[in-house]
Structure 1
């Protein structure tokens, strides 16, 4: 088997180290130029780094299935497995991990719930929620002198908006849902210390219990995701089992608010650290849609996604066997100079500003893309208007979330000019 078309040694890196998460671009450049399809010994995944190769994989779901998307990255130890088993935790094929016939109908269900028309109708409520959360942020800034966007706007807005759009009432508080999701991301997509695994598994199990209780509720609001799941029928005419409905809701909630919150964090970091950008957005709010697309391109919140080869295939000059597990480096594709001129710069005026692959492409493109755009643009538009004197108050390089699939600063400290440390 031809393992690599290149002779130079690959770079040394660890995808799950904070140092890599904080600045992955040099590694991505080396991979694109010298090792575009590279076997990573630490994760046992084939890393695909060039735009055209990733695009090819995403557009060929027959050859590259998504069955491994939700598999745990790190081996779970027995106490964690017991905690999950007590909750009957299971994620059967639903949306992101489904290459079966049932995917078509479930995807159609999610597209209806998150359609452009539904997002447009929700805009007044999105504006209201953002305004309320900005009130809280302003109060925190006045009281403490500074605030952390990752613990305020980026946490509360996406959860509140998603619950509203999906029609879920009676949910636990924002902090509880956030903690459940964060624990699930760290447990399944990170590399937690073995001593921490049981606590994370307990959180994930509590999350799953709430999901299964929720999809089995008797009082299902009409027009909600719960009503849609209740009415849905599989290709053989049978209704969704509880674990299938819970799996759909799990993926919609995790992907729907976690990545949007991370998008908010990266946007604030960029706007406040890049000299003059915050003021420019305040002066020219019409730039916000295109500028936020550039943040998505360069700093994708969903930094990578997995696939598995269903047959032997050659990709980027490398022969891959059936069963080869791939990691598609979405953030790397956004910095591919073959597609984006001067990719290190955020250029809202570039012709292909929506040409990035952050939301995917083809059969498994993210159904919540337009909702995420609407939320982040609303947050930025209101924030630059109400807080034109906002400034960066954190370290030059803040800490970053370490995960195989998710990337964002985990602390985004801000203050107002003349206030805060």
Structure 2
């Protein structure tokens, strides 16, 4: 399983087996995980991690092939928690009937049934209509903190801003905003964290509340006299009262998925973008001088420091990946962040370069049938943030000793706090 590599000739640290060296919940690993994955790609690009019971895949070509073949690699594994849940937590989720049906956690034909109405509602026109609203909202947030000496951008803006945009896009009452953000964090920890049993119980109750709130919000809109002109209204029009086409439970599942993925990842993308650009100061100065560089800069952040660090699939048949035999039913942990640093795909991958020609080839938004449907909205939000910051806060700089990474988990990576001054 291990590919031979001459450490002396490469100048790399000796590598003693990724399966034993990978410590996914170790805070020191999370502070700078990329050197580990560089070693793994060169020495053991596919390895088994016995504690997680996952085969870990690190190279761009292997990950892209897995994402491109949904008939061979199932997405249903995403319905499961990354770490085994306690019986009490499982019982809470079962009694709460938490079984959302969405595109991320399904294979065809269920995936096709749910994806079709989302494509119907998530059209470019809907996204483009959001730009003026997003820009006004960014300006409001800047107005709130611009007179302060320094701020934590995560708590001051990035934590709630993407959810507020999503609520506007979906057509949800903003009175539920703070609840959704709280429930999303509980869902992240339960599904992708490493919680002790007593904390699992607490977070499981939060997930049940999240699911019930999603259903409540859908019912409120469905029962309204006038169907609104927004994403949720489009789903209801597509359904046209026919449960065989799309049930209210299906719509609740769609919203349950979007209310998590649609803002949690954008919070991390915004934080990663600002942190990376301010660390690479010359790149920040360039986009301040020429905001036309911002779209490609966002793609480079998605390659270099993506918000979704890991993704998962399950092999539906025995298969050879990177020279390693994966058995039928084998769990696969795809290191999406490693794919963006693959030397075989990207020249000088450890260099952050907003002029990179092929940066759009990154897999940060996925690939194939399960490509992230919210990518246009995420790109829009972060583009407007960077445009407005470049215009109003060109002297923005990091408060270096006050940057904290997100809680260790097997899904996302982004700063939990991001202190800046100007």
Distance 1:237 1:254, change over 3 A: closer
Task: Give 1:251 shift.
Answer: 1.0
Identify which of 142, 167, 172 aligns with 1:163: 167
Bigger proportion of residues as helix: 2
Task: Give 1:314 shift.
Answer: 1.1
Would you say the 8 A contact 2:114–2:250 is kept in 1?
Answer: no
The 5 A counterparts of 1:273-352 are 273-352=279-358
Task: Give 1:189 shift.
Answer: 0.8
Q: Which TM-score applies when normalising by structure 2?
A: 0.90
The residue that corresponds to 2:136 in the other structure is: 128
The residue that corresponds to 1:389 in the other structure is: 395
Task: Give 1:4 shift.
Answer: 5.1
Residues 1:47 and 2:56 are matched in the alignment: yes
Task: Give 1:18 shift.
Answer: 2.3
The residue that corresponds to 1:212 in the other structure is: 215
Would you say the 8 A contact 2:118–2:235 is kept in 1?
Answer: no
The residue that corresponds to 1:180 in the other structure is: 183
Distance 1:122 1:275, change over 3 A: closer
The residue that corresponds to 1:107 in the other structure is: 115
* Count of residue correspondences: 407
How far, CA to CA, are the matches of 2:49 and 2:365 in structure 1? 24
The residue that corresponds to 2:11 in the other structure is: none
Task: Give 1:171 shift.
Answer: 4.0
Q: Which TM-score applies when normalising by structure 1?
A: 0.90
Structure 1, unaligned runs of 5 or more: 417-421
How far, CA to CA, are the matches of 1:54 and 1:344 in structure 2? 19
Q: Give the secondary structure class of the aligned counterpart of 2:198.
A: coil
Note the alpha carbon deviations across 1:202-257, whole angstroms, 9 max, x for none: 222221110111222212733434334445569x9714445433221111111111
Residues 1:202 and 2:210 are matched in the alignment: no
The residue that corresponds to 1:419 in the other structure is: none
Task: Give 1:384 shift.
Answer: 1.8
How far, CA to CA, are the matches of 1:276 and 1:373 in structure 2? 22
Structure 2, unaligned runs of 5 or more: 6-14
How far, CA to CA, are the matches of 1:221 and 1:82 in structure 2? 37
Superposed CA RMSD? 2.2
How far, CA to CA, are the matches of 1:123 and 1:361 in structure 2? 25
Distance 1:396 1:167, change over 3 A: closer
Identify which of 93, 100, 103 aligns with 1:91: 100
Task: Give 1:404 shift.
Answer: 0.6
Task: Give 1:284 shift.
Answer: 2.1
The residue that corresponds to 2:16 in the other structure is: 9
Moved more, 215-224 or 298-307: 215-224
Task: Give 1:106 shift.
Answer: 1.6
Q: Give the secondary structure class of the aligned counterpart of 1:393.
A: strand
Q: Give the secondary structure class of the aligned counterpart of 1:327.
A: strand
